[in-house]
Each structure stands twice: as C-alpha cells, then as structure tokens.
Structure 1
Amino acid sequence: MAAVEPVVDEPAAVADLGAERALLVADVHAGIEVGLRYERGVELESRADERVDRLCSLIDGTGADRIVVLGDLAHRIGAPEGEEREELETLVSAVTDRVPLTLVEGNHDAGVAEAFADEIQVIGPEGGILREGPRPDARQSDLAVLHGHTRPDPAIRSADVVCMGHEHPQVRLEDAVGGSRTERAWLRGPLKPAVFGDEEASDGGGETAASGPELVVFPAFNERSGGTWINVEGGSFLSPFLPEGLAAGDAYLLDGTRLGDFRRI
C-alpha cells in the first residue's frame, strides 16, 4: 500500500512515489486576510510571510522532491489580484526555487491555475494519480489526489490511497471541568466503491460489500480557514461524498494521537 506519513505536529504528509518523495498539504488559502477583509469586514494582520516560510521549511525538513497542494492554494474565488496576487507570486516563486509544485485544482483555484500555468503543474478538480515514471516494481502502488469538492474521477478507483483536502476537518475536545479547545485533525478510512459509481458493489442493505482505497482527508494548512466539525452533532460535511462515502473512519490529531471512530468521539 502507498505510504502516506503525516509530519508530526504539522498539517502535512510525505509520500514516496517510486524515485520521488512528495510533500502534500491542503488548503493553503493564500491571501485569506484580504478575503476576510472584503467578505466580512474583518481586519487581521497578514501571515503571508509565515505561510511561505512554513512551506519552505517543510520542503527542506522532509527532503521532498516535489510539493503537492491538494486544492485551494488561494482563498478568494476567481483571478487573483492585488495583495493576494502578490502573496501567491512570492509563494510560488519561493517554492518552485526549491522543488516543482503540483496543484490539484480546488473550488478556489480556477484563476490560480490559469495565472500560474507556466510555473506549476495542474491536476483537474476530479483528481488524478501521482506516479513518477513507469513502475519499477509490479508491487508498487499508486497514490491518488483530489480536492474533494466534486466526485472523484472513477479512474482513481485503482489507487491504494486517495488524499484530499476541502473538508478542513477539526474536532472540539472538552476537559473534565467543561473547558473546550479546537484542534485540526486527520480523517482516515476506506472509501465505499459507490463513491466511484460502483453501485453494483452494494449489498441488499445498502451497505458496501467491498471497500475501495483508503481515504486520507487532510487538515487545512491555513489555521485561519475554519473547518468541518467532525465530532459535533449537526456538523455538516462539505464534500458531496462525505461522510456517507466512508465505510468507517478514524480521526487523528496533528501530534499523531488516535481519537478513534470520528462518529463516536
């Protein structure tokens, strides 16, 4: 099985793609402070430089040969301009000076994909399979990536692991005296084949008889971007195939703590 290993205490993971080591992150939302200013009238000090430094530090620290952004590199929908465009230009330049950048097009990225088409590789919204050249070993497995705001391309059904963003999973944890805190989280579990249109794989009770690839839902790289409460009653998932598309799923904190079945946290 393709190994996707989270970087401890970071909303990022690494994966070996044959001869290439990839760093994966999701939902960078560059320019979010500009977006919040226009959308909600909220004034926040920009963390643009910090975001660039964190990405570059992760590339250097993990020895990655490539960085893959699982959608929403930018925050505002549409063609980037002004301060957001400046941040994106700085970020893309700093990253691509180190390694190639692959962007899986998210619902915020149509303008970004067009604006930086000459500098980055773009994978469409329905996702694709990452593979470094021909398989040197028949036992080598494939890793699929998508953003998650649309249903995945059935072609990635053959992958062993599917990585996605979009959801920004987070949990609310309470202590013994009633205090609570919010933590970003990972969500991992087997995808039901019905997500790929394999309705014939369902049994008479509507449950899936065979599981598909493992799904890894990434926490948002940008801590200001909010998220989906996966353990709060009434919490609403954003993806059109979640949570129904998961046969089962465990949640993990960024430090690696396993919280167990996200439906029972």
Structure 2
Amino acid sequence: MPEPVFVTGEPALVINQTLVIADIHIGIEYEYRRSGIHIPSQTEKLINKLETLIKKTKAKRLVILGDVKHKVPGISFQEEREVPVFLKHVSEKVPIDIVPGNHDSGLKDYLSENVKLHSSKGFRHENVFFSHGHAWPDKGFLETKYLLMGHVHPAAEFTDKLGYKWSEPVWVKAKIKKQELERQYKTKLKTTPEVVVFPAFNEFAGRIAINKPLREIDLKHKTGPPSPIFRICKLKEARTYLLDGTCLGRLGNLQ
C-alpha cells in the first residue's frame, strides 16, 4: 500500500486514493453564540472545501476520523439540520467511512446511503489503521504500519521578540512507547505503528499548543489532551510539520 501523503496547505492526507480528514465539528458555531461570539454557519464552506479537495486529489473514498458534529452529549438544532446536508452532499461525490469520535453521539440517525459508520475502536485497511483517538483502538492496529488519528487538534505556539503569541496547526508524527503498549494490550511486540495526528479540518474547532509547555504526557497526573494513545507517544522525539509541509523538527526542540 502506498505511503500517506499530506495535501499541501490543507489539514488532509491522501493514501491509496483515499482522502482522510479529522475533526469537522459541524455546529460549533452554536457554542460560540452562547459565549456571545457570532460566527455564521461554516457548513457550506466545509462542503465546498471538501469537494474541491476530492477533485484536486482525485480521491475515490473519504475517511473522517471522528467528530463530524460538535455538541456533546446530544445534538443541537443546527446539527440536526446541517449534518444530514453535509453528509448527503459529500457522499454524492465519494463513499464515506466514519470512525465516530467522542462528539458523535446520535450521529447514526443522520447518515446518508453512501456513508458507513464504523466502531469507535476504529478500523483497519491493509497496513493502515483509522481511529479518532479518544479511546484505545482495536488490537488489530498493532499489526499495521500507521495509526491515523484526530482528536488532539495539535498546534505549535510561537512567540516573537515583542512577546506576541500565535499558533499554527501542525501534523505530528510519533512513535509509541513499546512497553506501555505491551502493558495495555498484554502482548509482546517487535515494532509499533507510527502515529500520525491530524490537525482539525474546521479552523474554528480550536487548537492545543503541544509545545507550550511541551505536553510530554504525565500519566500520573493525567495532563494534556485526553487521548490514551497520544499519552504514550514519544513526544520529545516526534516530528511536527506545518500545513505547507515545513518540517519544524523534533517537538522536544520546539520550545
């Protein structure tokens, strides 16, 4: 199976004619409105963006790594209206596979004909495993080369000489601590899959600056993003990439 390739300038990846994205968070505007911030619905923009990417990459299938919708628990009126529209429009272009995330409660009631909802433990295709990242994946992922996941919304935070701070969404490629994985799955491993963590597809979905301070996850105190796999990654050695493909080097050096 071909290697995964980042789509330059976009929070999307292509592998074997399959376009992969994560964290769409349809309906997040409702949460902003409750805080007094009025953002118009982004769903039409997200549909257009995806359709452009499908055409650009000549993808034959779309995989969404969870959090299609935003409200948890339950579903908002906006999501009831816009999730079916989103899935219908996009699934008319290509079949869709969804790994449900922690925000996707009730999603099964709003699926279109050309959409398949998998287990929250993820699914395997050849040497790639697709997961949201909020839960331990099915043990089948141990036999794959890559684990693709979302959930974390990773970003790198920068500070200029005047103290101004800003963040940029990033890709993260990391190895898993083998002993931790063996302990969790009660097995012995020769190698572990490489983890690829996706930036959020929706720019309004928020970001976690994983380098300020470095979130070398403290298992005892449970700090950092609530992802069991991310917690046991070798984050200091992980490599980070901007959406334009620029390699920022090792996360441990990105302070």
Structure 2 equivalent of residue 168 of structure 1: 153
How many residue pairs get matched?
Answer: 243
Match for residue 76 of structure 1 among 65, 71, 95: 71
Classify the secondary structure of the residue corresponding to 2:141.
Answer: helix
CA contact (8 A) 1:73 1:108 kept: yes
State how far apart, in whole Å, the 2-side matches of 1:149 and 1:12 are: 19
Classify the secondary structure of the residue corresponding to 2:124.
Answer: strand
1:231 alignment partner AA: N
Displacement of 1:37: 2.5
CA contact (8 A) 1:2 1:160 kept: no
2:25 alignment partner AA: H
Structure 1 length-normalised TM: 0.84
Classify the secondary structure of the residue corresponding to 1:88.
Answer: helix
Structure 2 length-normalised TM: 0.87
Q: Give unpaired runs (5+ residues) of structure 2.
A: 216-223
Matched, 1:110 2:98: no
Displacement of 1:167: 0.3
Displacement of 1:126: 1.3
Classify the secondary structure of the residue corresponding to 1:215.
Answer: strand
Classify the secondary structure of the residue corresponding to 1:241.
Answer: helix
Cα distance change, pair 118–98 in 1 and its aligned pair in 2 (3 A): closer
State how far apart, in whole Å, the 2-side matches of 1:233 and 1:56 are: 37
- Between stretches 79-88 and 210-219, larger displacement belongs to 79-88
Matched, 1:87 2:82: yes
Displacement of 1:41: 4.1
Can you list the C-alpha shifts for 1:87-132, whole angstroms capped at 9, x where unaligned? 212211111110001111100112113431754111211111024x
Structure 1 equivalent of residue 193 of structure 2: 213
Displacement of 1:171: 0.8
Structure 2 equivalent of residue 30 of structure 1: 26
Matched, 1:62 2:57: yes
Q: Give unpaired runs (5+ residues) of structure 1.
A: 132-141, 202-208
CA contact (8 A) 1:228 1:238 kept: no
- Give the 5 Å matches for 1:1-265: 2-16=2-16, 21-38=17-34, 40-116=35-111, 118-131=113-126, 142-193=127-178, 194-195=180-181, 197-198=184-185, 201=188, 211-233=191-213, 235=215, 236-246=224-234, 248-265=237-254
2:175 alignment partner AA: P
State how far apart, in whole Å, the 2-side matches of 1:174 and 1:53 are: 33
Can you list the C-alpha shifts for 1:117-169, whole angstroms capped at 9, x where unaligned? 754111211111024xxxxxxxxxx1101000011111111111110000000
Cα distance change, pair 210–173 in 1 and its aligned pair in 2 (3 A): farther
2:167 alignment partner AA: T
State how far apart, in whole Å, the 2-side matches of 1:15 and 1:34 are: 33
Can you list the C-alpha shifts for 1:15-71, whole angstroms capped at 9, x where unaligned? 01xxxx100000000111023324x34322222211111111111111000110000
- What is the aligned-residue identity percentage? 32
1:33 alignment partner AA: E
2:144 alignment partner AA: A
CA contact (8 A) 1:70 1:145 kept: yes
Structure 1 equivalent of residue 221 of structure 2: none
CA contact (8 A) 1:195 1:245 kept: no
CA contact (8 A) 1:106 1:166 kept: yes
Structure 1 equivalent of residue 219 of structure 2: none
Classify the secondary structure of the residue corresponding to 2:106.
Answer: helix
Displacement of 1:79: 4.4
1:242 alignment partner AA: F
